[in-house]
Amino acid sequence: MQLQEGRGVTRDTARAGALLAQGCDRGGMDGCTRLGVLHLTAAIGVPRDPARAAALFERACTGGQPLGCARLGIQLGRGEGVAEDLPRAVRLLTAACDATVQTGCRGLAQLRHAGRGVARDDSLAIALYTRACTENELDACMELGMLHEAGDGTPQDYTAARERYAAACDAGHGESCWRWSLMHERGMGGRRNPERAQELRQAACRNGYAPACPPKSRST
């Protein structure tokens, strides 16, 4: 969205949020989902409100948008802003993933890895994360990197972790930049490189990951 991202126009976050709300009110399910994401992440000045996000995702899902169903499924699985409902979460995420909505595959991978609502299956979880990451679901790339880094459900592999963080960071995923910076800083999967670590922390901050920003930057 141009106003939200400042592409070709002056960045106007308040107007961007208002336009998404108007689009949602007029039956634009994409606007409902986008606005829900903003409420979930507290992005562009929209107050964090998981309950409002869940309601918007429910509206989009009822309106036939698979991405809204996937987002709702993730919240139902976590009990975030809505009562936990694992059976429904599994149904929504499975249907979304089957419809090639990679956010749904990522959410289903989370449940498979944790054994919540479904039998734990690390091999299937890794396959779902890999599928979603390959299709540019950046959160899936980061979460897969975390599993490789920790050796959780898959053999520990710092090189693979770096590759996943790098792919997501290069595509603008702030937290992945930060996690990649830590690996450079600590010499995990290669030699220590404090200079590169600092560059990646700066990239993380530029891409909206506030914990990577210097204290002064966080308050402005």
Question: What does the pLDDT average to over 75-87?
Answer: 97
Structural domain including 52 reads 1-64
pLDDT at residue number 43: 67
SS3 content of the chain, % helix, strand, coil (to 5): 70, 0, 30
Does the residue 98 lie in any domain?
no
Name the nearest CA neighbour of 37 among 14, 60, 9: 60
- Which of 12, 40, 64 corresponds to the end of one domain? 64
Quote the tokens at residue 157. 């592999």
Q: How many domains would you assign to the chain?
A: 2
pLDDT at residue number 13: 57
- Which of 64, 95, 115 corresponds to the end of one domain? 64
Instruction: Report the CATH number that the domain containing residue 181 is assigned in CATH.
Output: 1.25.40.10
Distance CA 137, CA 103 (A): 7
Q: Choose the weakest-confidence range: 41-55, 75-89, 91-105, 135-149.
A: 41-55
Question: What does the pLDDT average to over 124-151?
Answer: 98
Q: What is the pLDDT of residues 107-125, one digit of tens each?
A: 999 999 999 999 999 999 9
pLDDT at residue 216 tops 80: no
Does the residue 6 lie in any domain?
yes
- Which of 64, 89, 105 corresponds to the end of one domain? 64
Distance CA 163, CA 142 (A): 10
Question: What does the pLDDT average to over 194-214?
Answer: 94
Q: Choose the weakest-confidence range: 15-19, 89-93, 127-131.
A: 15-19
